[in-house]
Amino acid sequence: MIGNIYITRVSMRSAGSKWRLTLLLNTFMTHLILQAPNLVAANIEKVAAIASAGGVQELGSTAVRLLDVDGAERAAVEACCAEFGMDYAFFEHITRLRDCKILAMDMDSTLINIECIDEIADMVGRKTEVAAITEAAMRGEITDFSESLTRRVALLEGVPVTALDQVYSERLRLNPGAEALVAMAKKTGLKTLLVSGGFTFFTERMQARLGLDAAYGNVLDVKDGKLTGKVLGRIVDAQAKADYLQALADELGAGADQIIAVGDGANDLKMMALARFSVAYRAKPVVREQAGFALNVSPLDGILNWFRLSH
């Protein structure tokens, strides 16, 4: 019986072994996926022993899947992975990526490497004050995101629009794995959604650069080539992020099991609550505590290791 098969390693070199692996992944047993930029064999073996793994499948040089593990050892596995600097994720069943319908992402410090508003402020010597408010908001210490954004944007009054161009060209970079994650999601048929408490100046460029299906952000008011210190229209706060995701889910008929949502700050939590695959990426503690999964050391395309990309 498939449910009683125990293996020490799964080879993907033959059609027969692929067939056997598909059966294993379709069997309702608990799987544990370990990831790190530098996986150490001895550390994998220790986690496998703690979890009483029935087999190991290599997913590449930075990830492995432990098969038929003891889910009751979750706390011990978590402690061990924290010690070894590994990301982990438990799954009762490995879902096909193509069965998902939406990949939703935050932008600042998630899709990209910076908080854009902090870097704009840095151009005029105001980063320390603005960044302090940003950090407090992302940690959840300031519960009214709209109020915190209004305060920060007010400090940008008089900043030339050219400073935004400078931030984009000189400081903004995609986080590791971002392009690969988006490319595979698009290839597999998922709709890609960028929802940001940042600014449309940057979300529109990210949408064009990555070919995203939709992108939303806040509109900075500009007069005579300078920021007025105001935001136009509805502020994209936590509720707005959730609303944009829910609207797309309703349009596509997507349930929570078909949504991947990735974020790092407290204002992402409402959006992430709509997704079974809620991912805290390099996130604040309040987000890691409430997310279903976390990537603390792995790149964004580590998400792909949680899914079957074929069959």
- Show the tokens assigned to 206: 């990210």
- Catalytic, 301? Answer no
Residue 39 bridge partners (DSSP):
none
Catalytic residue among 68, 87, 108, 301: 108
- Catalytic, 106? Answer yes
Per-residue pLDDT, averaged over 15-31, amounts to: 56
In this structure, the answer to whether residues 89 and 187 fall within a common structural domain is no
User: pTM of the full predicted structure?
Assistant: 0.90
What domain range is 84 assigned to? Answer: 2-94
In this structure, the answer to whether residues 28 and 108 fall within a common structural domain is no
Which of 207, 209, 229, 228 lies closest to 217, judged by CA? Answer: 207
Of 68, 94, 120, the position where a domain reaches its end is: 94
In this structure, the answer to whether residues 55 and 143 fall within a common structural domain is no
The predicted-structure confidence for 243-293, as pLDDT tens digits, reads as follows 999 999 999 999 999 999 999 999 999 999 999 999 999 999 999 999 999
In this structure, the answer to whether residues 68 and 118 fall within a common structural domain is no
Q: Looking at the 3D structure of the chain, how many domains does it have?
A: 2
Task: Kindly report the three-state secondary structure assignment for every residue of 19-54.
Answer: HHHHHHHHCCCCEEEEECCCCCHHHHHHHHHHCCCC
pLDDT at 82 over 60: yes
Q: Is residue 311 part of a domain?
A: no
The predicted-structure confidence for 206-256, as pLDDT tens digits, reads as follows 999 999 999 999 999 999 999 999 999 999 999 999 999 999 999 999 999
Least trusted range by pLDDT, from 45-49, 122-126, 136-140: 136-140
Dihedral Cα 267, 167, 183, 281, nearest 10 deg: -40
Between helix 178-188 and helix 200-210 the angle, nearest 10°, is 60
* DSSP per residue, the chain: -GGG---S----SSHHHHHHHHHHHHS---EEEEE-TT--HHHHHHHHHHTT-SEEEE-STTEEEEES--GGGHHHHHHHHHHHT-EEEEESS--BGGG--EEEE-IIIIIBSS-HHHHHHHTTT-HHHHHHHHHHHHTTSS--HHHHHHHHHHTTTT-BTHHHHHHHHHT--BPTTHHHHHHHHHHHT-EEEEEEEEEHHHHHHHHHHHT-SEEEEEEEEEETTEEEEEEESS---HHHHHHHHHHHHHHHT--GGGEEEEE-SGGGHHHHTT-SEEEEES--HHHHHHSSEEESSS-GGGGGGGSB---
Of 52, 73, 94, the position where a domain reaches its end is: 94
Of 70, 94, 118, the position where a domain reaches its end is: 94
Residue 219 bridge partners (DSSP):
232
Catalytic residue among 68, 87, 99, 106: 106
Q: Is residue 90 part of a domain?
A: yes
pLDDT at 4 over 70: no
